[in-house]
Amino acid sequence: MKKCRVLALLMILTVVGSFRAYQVLNPHLELSNREAVVTLVLYSDLPESQALSRQLERFRCDGVACVQTALSEVIENEFKRHTSGDTSLKVNVVEPKDNRLFRVDHSGTGWRRFRFAYKLYSEFSSRGASFFGSDVRIFVNISNYDPQSYVERSLGSANLRVGMVQWDVGDFQNIYMWNITKLVHEIGHTLGASDKYTSAAKSIFPGGYVEPELGEGSNQQFVEIMSGTRPSGGQEELEPKHYSELRFSRVSASEMGWVTQN
């Protein structure tokens, strides 16, 4: 009798375990009619300062510019626009703890890859955040990056649906908007969308265009999220001024499994 119960428990654990593994490894996150949870774990090497609290205000939604609202609105509105369906995005924020940035060491292969995945999991659990309770996991490094030696290290992967974003400190609206753009861009990667810009930082046609029917090089009204800038009809591509300009192209929507490409 007791043996039976142990066996049943083992079977339940195996089924639940493989279901979890399937959810984690499946790149196409089912968003339709459900709440998806994005967890942002924040890190910062800034001293306790006004600069840091001004950034945290944006994650606490104390001020006018609120990170959670921007992310939820962009994803929910874009999902609606592409699929006519509804989804809801819940953004959890875990505030910085011990004055350090999150470091990505090479994920490698085999055992090292497993160890790296375990590291990601432990970073979450040590901060009281649930790795498996989140659909998308983003590590955000808040720092005063030197513009002279700036190297963009933000990244996102559909494998485990994890990403990292370099969040630059600054009071200018354009720096804040660029941080938001990177955040949505990396979330796009975790959902399966690929980059849509060239090495010369130009939007790739047609995938990097929200309105490709206007033609290559045309003045675009919206910024394709996986491109990050919008063609302006001239030489320069422009960064978004407000998150309402951020949209996924049909190509990106199809890569995320929202629509079938035709």
Site residues for Zn ion per CB under 5 A? 195
Instruction: Tell me whether residue 73 or residue 195 sits nearer to Zn ion (CB atom).
Output: 195
Quick one: 96 or 224, whose CB is closer to Zn ion?
Answer: 224
Find the DSSP H helices in the chain.
Answer: 2-25, 50-60, 67-83, 110-126, 173-190, 250-255
CB 238 within 8 A of CB 67: no
Q: How far is the CB of 86 from Zn ion (least distance, A)?
A: 27
Nearest approach, Cβ of 193 to Zn ion (angstroms)?
A: 9
Yes or no: say if 246 and 232 are a contact pair by the CB < 8 Å rule.
no
CB of 159 to Zn ion, least distance (A): 14
CB 225 within 8 A of CB 181: yes
Spatial neighbors of 194 by CB under 8 A, at least 6 apart, are 226, 252, 255
Nearer to Zn ion, 67 or 204 (CB): 204
Torsion of CA 225, 228, 231, 235, to 10 degrees: -170
Considering the complex, state which of residue 96 and residue 161 has its C-beta at the smaller distance from Zn ion: 161
Least Å distance, CB 103 to Zn ion, is 19
**Smaller CB separation from Zn ion, 27 or 65:** 27
Name the one residue in this structure whose structure tokens are 């840091």. Answer: 52
Q: How far is the CB of 189 from Zn ion (least distance, A)?
A: 6
For the bound state, the minimum distance from the C-beta of residue 181 to Zn ion, rounded and expressed in Å, comes to 11
Q: Which residue is nearest to Zn ion (CB)?
A: 195
Q: What is the rounded distance in angstroms from the CA atom of residue 141 to the CA atom of residue 168?
A: 8
> Which CB, 40 or 158, lies closer to Zn ion?
158
CA 157/CA 177 separation, integer angstroms: 22
Closest residue by Cα to residue 165 from 83, 100, 102: 102
